[in-house]
Amino acid sequence: MNGTMKYCPNCGKSGVEGMKFCPRCGQRLLGLDLEVRQGAVHEPEAPVRKSKMRIAAGILTIVGGFIGGSLLITILTELHVSRVLSSIPLFVAVIGGIMALRRENYGLALAGAICSILFPFFGIPAVILLVKRRREFEEEKENADAYYKHGNAYDEMGEYAKAIADYNKAIELDPNHALAYFNRAYAYGEIGQYDKAIADYTKAIELDPSDAQAYHNRGLDYQSKGEVPNAVSDLDKCIKLSTDPELTKDAQQALYKIKDSPEGR
């Protein structure tokens, strides 16, 4: 693709100049500065390499928390303190260490490292390493957005397999990236893989229960599969949630066609 195009600032849909709403995600476009960029696909930033120091912090947190937590349990048990309560630091340390290794949830990773200070020989270095490596947790989501936008560019070119591969990477880096699930669902629908599309729309709805567009699109995919009751349910839900007159109109028309069809009677 060559030349300059205008894109929806929410989902990256191209060719939206002059439209009131984005035909893909339903974003209201009037009054917004549409994103303008060249149509060529550019490679996203390379993912941040796994840091040996961060991995070490995760291991130190788990081991330190396990040793320190076990000692604390022994001491508090002798003092007749509830074993459940005395086990909390060990539990937090182990979960925090796992978060550090997975580069997810910096707050929980740091809390785990702090709990591992019960065994200072491991806990203190873990805290220091995590404080120094905080930026890596932030870069994880930035890389997810880069792959998401890259996938959008492939989607606009009709190269859905490549788009899906990029959305996969975005979701791997940020499992709560609702737009990546939404757009991967859209791509799956375009190539007729309705089961996968429905599963991704379902996840997008789980992450954002007020997403009327996701209900609308999932309803249409249910219709394509011949699952009329599910299609009707989703389109009804879309109409109830939608604050977009155009989206509401589209859902009402789709619903009318389904109910007027032999399958819907």
All domains in the chain, ordered by first residue: 1-36 (no CATH), 52-132 (no CATH), 139-264 (1.25.40.10)
- Range scoring the smallest mean pLDDT among 76-85, 163-172, 196-205, 214-223: 76-85
Q: How far apart are CA 64 and CA 98, in angstroms?
A: 13
Mean pLDDT of 209-233: 94
Residue 36 pairs in a beta bridge with 6
Helices (H) and strands (E) in the chain, counts: 12, 2
Which residues, 6 or more positions from 208, have their beta carbon under 8 angstroms from its beta carbon? 178, 214
Confidence at 228, pLDDT banded by 50, 70, 90: very high
Q: Whats the size of the chain, residue-wise?
A: 265
pLDDT in tens, 128-177: 877 777 766 666 667 788 888 888 888 888 889 999 999 998 998 888 89
3-class secondary-structure state, position 21: strand
Give the pLDDT score at 88.
Answer: 82
pLDDT at 72 over 50: yes
Confidence at 225, pLDDT banded by 50, 70, 90: very high
- State if pTM tops 0.85: no
Nearest to 61 by CA among 27, 93, 108, 20: 93
Q: How far apart are CA 221 and CA 81, in angstroms?
A: 56
